[in-house]
Amino acid sequence: MIKYIEGLKKTAGCGPLLEGENAKLPALRQQVFQHVRASGQAARADITHALQISAASATTLTADLIASGLLREVDTPAREMGRGRPRVALEVVPEAAYAIGIKLSSKQHSAVLCDFAGTVVNTANVPSSNKRRTSSDLLDEIIILIDLVIANAQMSRKDIGAVGIGIPGIVDQTSGRISWCSLLKDTNVDLGAAFSEKFDAPLFLDNDTNMLTLSELWFGVGRDKTDFAVVTIENGVGMALVLNNRLYRGSHGVGLELGHTKVQLDGALCRCGQRGCLEAYLGDYALTREAATALDNAESNPKNHEELLDLLFEKAKAGHSAAETIFRRAGRFLSVGLSNVVQLFDPPLIILSGERMRYDYLHADEVFTEMQKLTLSSSRQPCQIEIHIWDDLVWARGGTVPALAALTDLMVGHTP
């Protein structure tokens, strides 16, 4: 089953709606808070039922959270036919804390400022470039973007409790260092230490595909799934996997590099230096490399690779044989990559996202038919596929997730 989605579902609340198996639950006080935030609004009776606690415990814990300025009471509409009193519910006090999420890219940097309920307060974008820069220069760009989104919201720096940033690269979650990033000249960069000298709030760094996946888990279709996969196709090919409501990273934090799985021995050269990687057939640089050969010299020399890819797609849709072959070949390799994801992890849902998903050759019916044929699928329910054509602000919103989670642990997870 294939679904095409062009915007996040506008549902109440934020955060996962289901508990994963053997989930490590936080303190009961925090469970109450998180249930209210996930629900948008919840009455004490709802909390009692959902968390299987006594009415007295629910009353005590919610009173404590109200006194701490984290929850507040609100009247809900009266019961049907106008009978009975309006039911008193609880909701998160949105102004209790604020967080910023950021997506960095070679085209533009994007930021989302949200409140403690997860609601977007304001957004901002600033232009970027595909030139590699020093970590100091990149940090300057980040601070400019942060100050811009704060100014747009008519707030000040002291209002921001935490910042999360998604980068096109690899982050060591143990040390917090950026091992590699396509935007940076440097490697093994401690951006967090430099950031703390310029901005007084904790910083959370992760790969941008992981941040997009957190956006799906907290704000999108992943809210009612404990397990799902996300595959992104942009300059490279990324993947993230959620198991039991948590990102799976591998033992060294560099697992799920789908773009660097091998789909052809001694195949096309990948930017990683090896041959036959999936990314070498799907990434921007792979398609532009093919386009330069397929189109004549006059056509294949536009201002940038974005224009070249759009020209290639335009030619393919107009019936240009070589251009069409490039996209159909890329689609076949995508089928191989997705079939491997299904065969290895058996997810109930794979979300395909990223800028290149606007090229319909990559989500044509034959791509998913071929994917199904390449899996041992006779005894399993077909994996659901959804195409999410997001802008960068959805990716950036995922950056607010680790920031909000950390603020929740700090403000709610202890007894004042």
CATH of the domain at 114: 3.30.420.40
Residue-level length of the chain = 416
Which residue blocks in 295-320 are alpha helix, DSSP H? 305-317
What pLDDT is stored for residue 64 in this prediction?
97
- 112 with 206, same domain: the answer is yes
The token duo for 153 is 């919201």
The answer to whether residues 215 and 118 touch, using CB atoms and an 8 Å cutoff, is: no
The answer for 319, left when phi > 0, alpha when psi is -120 to 50, beta otherwise, is left
Cα–Cα distance for residue pair 371/109, rounded to 1 Å: 34
**DSSP symbol at 364:** -
What pLDDT is stored for residue 304 in this prediction?
75
What pLDDT is stored for residue 73 in this prediction?
97
Q: Say whether pLDDT at 114 is over 70.
A: yes
Greater model confidence, 22 or 223: 223
End-to-end CA distance of the chain: 49
Give the residue from 95, 116, 147 where a domain finishes.
95
What pLDDT is stored for residue 158 in this prediction?
98
- 246 with 268, same domain: the answer is yes
Greater model confidence, 63 or 170: 63
**% of the chain exceeding 90 in pLDDT:** 74
Cα–Cα distance for residue pair 64/70, rounded to 1 Å: 9
Residue 2 included in any domain: no
Domain that holds residue 319: 226-347+355-389
Q: Say whether pLDDT at 345 is over 90.
A: yes
Cα–Cα distance for residue pair 271/286, rounded to 1 Å: 9
Claim: this prediction has a pTM higher than 0.85: yes
Per-residue pLDDT averaged across 241-256, rounded?
Answer: 87
Nearest CA among 202, 168, 186, 203 for reference residue 392: 168
Residue 62 included in any domain: yes
What pLDDT is stored for residue 81 in this prediction?
45
Confidence category of residue 275, pLDDT binned at 50, 70, 90 = very high
Q: What is the pLDDT of residues 3-35, one digit of tens each?
A: 656 556 567 899 999 887 767 789 999 999 999
Nearest CA among 79, 80, 76, 101 for reference residue 91: 76
- 65 with 144, same domain: the answer is no
- 207 with 243, same domain: the answer is no
- 208 with 247, same domain: the answer is no
Confidence category of residue 77, pLDDT binned at 50, 70, 90 = low
Confidence category of residue 53, pLDDT binned at 50, 70, 90 = very high
Q: Say whether pLDDT at 353 is over 60.
A: yes
CB proximity list for 321: less than 8 A, separation 6 or greater: none
Confidence category of residue 79, pLDDT binned at 50, 70, 90 = low
